[in-house]
Amino acid sequence: MKSKTMTGSEAIIQCLLKEKVDTVFGYPGGAIMPVYDSIFDYQDKIRHILTRHEQGLVHAAQGYARVTGKAGVCIATSGPGATNLITGIADAMMDSTPLVCIIGQVPSPLLGTDAFQEADIIGMTTPCTKWNYQITSVDEIPEVLSKAFYIANSGRPGPVVLMVTKNAQFDSLDFEYKKTTWMNSYKPENYLDYNKIKKAADLINSAKKPYLLFGQGVVLSGAENELQAFLEKTGIPAASTLLGLSALPSDHPNYVGMLGMHGNYGPNLLTNECDVLIGVGLRFDDRVTGNASKYAKQAKIIHIEMDESELGKIVTPKVPVAGDAKEVLSALMPLVHQSDHSTWMKEFRSCDVLEFDEVIKNEFDESKEELSMAYVCRKLSEAADHNAVLVTDVGQHQMIANRYFKFKNTRSVITSGGLGTMGFALPAAMGAKLGDDSRTVISIAGDGGFQMTMQELGTIAQHQISVKMVILNNHFLGMVRQWQELFFEKRYSFTEIESPDFVQIAQAYNIPAWSISEKKDLENKINEMLSTEGPALLEVKVEKEDNVFPMVPSGAAVNEVLLKP
Amino acid sequence: MNAKKDFIITSYVENKIGILYRVLNVFSRRMINVESLTVVESERKGISKLTIVIESEDNVVKQLVKHIEKQIGVMGAYVQSNNEIAMSKVSLYKMFTQSLANHDDQLPILEKQYVN
């Protein structure tokens, strides 16, 4: 009989190596100490990023996953270490981000006894994980880790939580790793129904006013080229969800803008005028549909989505197609006719003119003294040659930045979409930069959101992560203030916020920083920030009571989109 | 608007810790009360059969079944509305054999009426 040659904690590291993990985000603690002792010996193979809070590490792993397409790996300890991860796990679940979280747990004899730093993390994370599992025996480690990576990355990606009891980390096993490619109770691939594909193609070919909406599914399945080819052949106008942005270059002739509550005017308005609506890799979130009972009622809907449980959840498609965006678009391609919808496209373009006159023109009014958020964001995008990875927090600046940035490459937008997690941007940006060092990563946050996770400046400084941080400071929790102004009679209940001197804060971490409030300084400082080696921070004091428009008010239909209050 | 009625959802799941919670969470998250629930081992070793009765509407139930099927550890889920299946009530009694022995005149009646 062979002797048991490897400890559970080392086996965990070996599993990570087998899965080609090069970076992990972690924070040590009692119940995960054996793993930390093992990782100490593998520092040349695995880069460990120590954050300043577990929420920081999970958002960093999300940023890493979103930019690379590979599962982000988190390591944390039991109890509070794990509960601090939950916001990010729920965020990853909503935004289909692959994560594998390896979390320590008290020794198995102590489970359920209210032991020190024990919490029922399996119970707490069941509703917000794609899969979770508690490893109590060392022999389970290779198989369960292999499954975890398979589940997180395949199908519609999502977060996986593994709790590993301390005894399982200490005990020994004979290590053997088999990559999971199949599971009995999990079938990530869809069986393509060619009848449905044919029906969809017929609908598309007979449409007078077809309109395509795409979401992050296009990015996740790597269907960017297929989407572009499909649009070019069919001549169909296409709009993006927030998370789908950058899947199609902003200057593509078929691209008409962003959907949603603060999306562009035409894409919202004309949803209720098209005759065939094609949704590709999106879930018809309520921020996209507005009042769902008044959403695209005149249109025949084709919904292409790999997660079957999304089909028919919010809208009722005439042709539901369960399938991966890339596969379905490729199958549709030979069946759809070459066509021209330029008259219909003109309707979008005339909406753009309206939006420009009512909204955009004012934002870029050079004679206006105060800086608008839109002005800053457009200048940032230009300075980075529309090539940066834009990481945003949540709120007014998020909507504005994503409206006014332009994108050339896919995977250029990282934001907290479904969960709307303030504090997301800074840690996610450092994860994104670590995931792809070749790209310029710009994080934009408000003064509120930045302060939620600004402790991660410590991580950025320690690892010299070259993120360019922009704070749009309006001295308000802006989006809530906007709603208070519009819907709560301007009663600004607890939305005014005082901030520290962000420049001094950054300087305390030896991070170069500037603060500006005048238009004349903007371009210079942006360029200085972007050309600084290593991390840099720019605070821009912007107009205090700037509002985001267009807006589909809560409960209104998409064609009731407003250009002004 | 669909009227509410009883539905019986049958699901085959791996006989493992935590899967029952994952399935039931599909209902509780949407504020749907589980009227009855049984878990038994199925014909296949290691696979349990869940039978869940809920009160709901056709379109909601269709969606619920898809959400159950999506859970990892679930092999499949099926739904029947109350009027699609014939139901009969069966009662099982546990009796001390001693009491039967004392009243052996009752034994033939029991066998005839209840024991198949």
Domains of chain B: 5-84 (3.30.70.260)
CA-derived radius of gyration, chain B: 19
Please give the C-alpha separations between residue A441 and each of A50, A63, A465, A467, A535, in angstroms, as whole numbers: 20, 11, 10, 5, 10
**Nearest residue of chain B to residue A189 (CA atoms):** B70
CA–CA min distance A88, chain B (Å)? 20
Per the annotation, the verdict on A1 as an active-site residue is: no
Out of A10, A54, A224, A226, which one is annotated catalytic?
A54
Q: Residue B55: phi, psi to the nearest 5?
A: -105, 125
Show the CA angle centred on residue A431, arms to residues A427 and A436, nearest 5°.
145
Per the annotation, the verdict on A433 as an active-site residue is: no
Give residue A1's pLDDT. 46
Q: Is CATH 1.10.3720.10 the right assignment for the domain spanning A373-541?
A: no
CA distance linking residue A246 with residue A402, whole number of Å: 10
CA distance linking residue A211 with residue A189, whole number of Å: 27
Domain boundaries, chain A: 6-173, 194-347, 373-541
Residues 175-204 on A with a CB inside 8 Å of B are 183-186
**For residue B116, what pLDDT band results from cuts at 50, 70 and 90?**
very low
Give residue B89's pLDDT. 80
**Nearest residue of chain B to residue A156 (CA atoms):** B70
Q: Which residues of B touch A184 (CB under 8 A)?
A: 14, 75
Q: Residue A513, exposed/middle/buried by CB under 10 A (0-12, 13-18, 19+)?
A: buried
**Cα end-to-end span (Å), chain A:** 78
Q: Would you say residue B100 has pLDDT above 90? A: no
A122, A185, A309 ranked by CB distance to B63: nearest: A309
A134, A185, A312 ranked by CB distance to B74: nearest: A185
* CA-CA-CA-CA torsion sign (A311, A316, A320, A324): negative
pLDDT in tens, B64-84: 999 999 999 999 999 998 788
Give residue A2's pLDDT. 55
Q: Which residues of A touch B18 (CB under 8 A)?
A: 122, 126, 132-134
Q: Which residues of A touch B73 (CB under 8 A)?
A: 185-186
Give residue B98's pLDDT. 72
A168-199 per-residue burial string, b: 16 or more CB within 10 A, e: under 16: bbebebebeeeebeeeebbebebeeeeebbee
Secondary structure letter of residue A495 according to DSSP? -
CA distance linking residue A139 with residue A206, whole number of Å: 59
Per the annotation, the verdict on A54 as an active-site residue is: yes
Give residue A157's pLDDT. 98
Residues contacting A278, CB < 8 A, separation 6+: A200, A204, A210, A211, A212, A213, A236, A301, A302, A304
One digit per residue, the tens of pLDDT, for chain A of length 565 reads 456 789 999 999 999 999 999 999 999 999 999 999 999 999 999 999 999 999 999 999 999 999 999 999 999 999 999 999 999 999 999 999 999 999 999 999 999 999 999 999 999 999 999 999 999 999 999 999 999 999 999 999 999 999 999 999 999 999 999 999 999 999 998 899 999 999 999 999 999 999 999 999 999 999 999 999 999 999 999 999 999 999 999 999 999 999 999 999 999 999 999 999 999 999 999 999 999 999 999 999 999 999 999 999 999 999 999 999 999 999 999 999 999 999 999 999 999 999 999 999 999 998 988 999 999 999 999 999 999 999 999 999 999 999 999 999 999 999 999 999 999 999 999 999 999 999 999 999 999 999 999 999 999 999 999 999 999 999 999 999 999 999 999 999 999 999 999 999 999 999 999 999 999 999 999 999 999 999 999 999 999 999 999 999 999 999 999 999 8
Is-same-fold flag (A6-173; A194-347)?
yes
Residues 57-86 on B with a CB inside 8 Å of A are 59, 62-63, 66-67, 69-70, 72-75
B44 reaches A (C-beta below 8 A): no
**A6-173 is classed in which CATH architecture?**
3-Layer(aba) Sandwich (3.40)
Q: Which residues of B touch A186 (CB under 8 A)?
A: 72-73
User: Token pair of A358, please?
Assistant: 């009512």
User: Token pair of A133, please?
Assistant: 């599992």
Per the annotation, the verdict on A476 as an active-site residue is: no
**A194-347 is classed in which CATH architecture?**
3-Layer(aba) Sandwich (3.40)
Per the annotation, the verdict on A166 as an active-site residue is: yes
Q: Which residues of B touch A132 (CB under 8 A)?
A: 18
A122, A127, A186 ranked by CB distance to B25: nearest: A127
CA distance linking residue B29 with residue A309, whole number of Å: 15
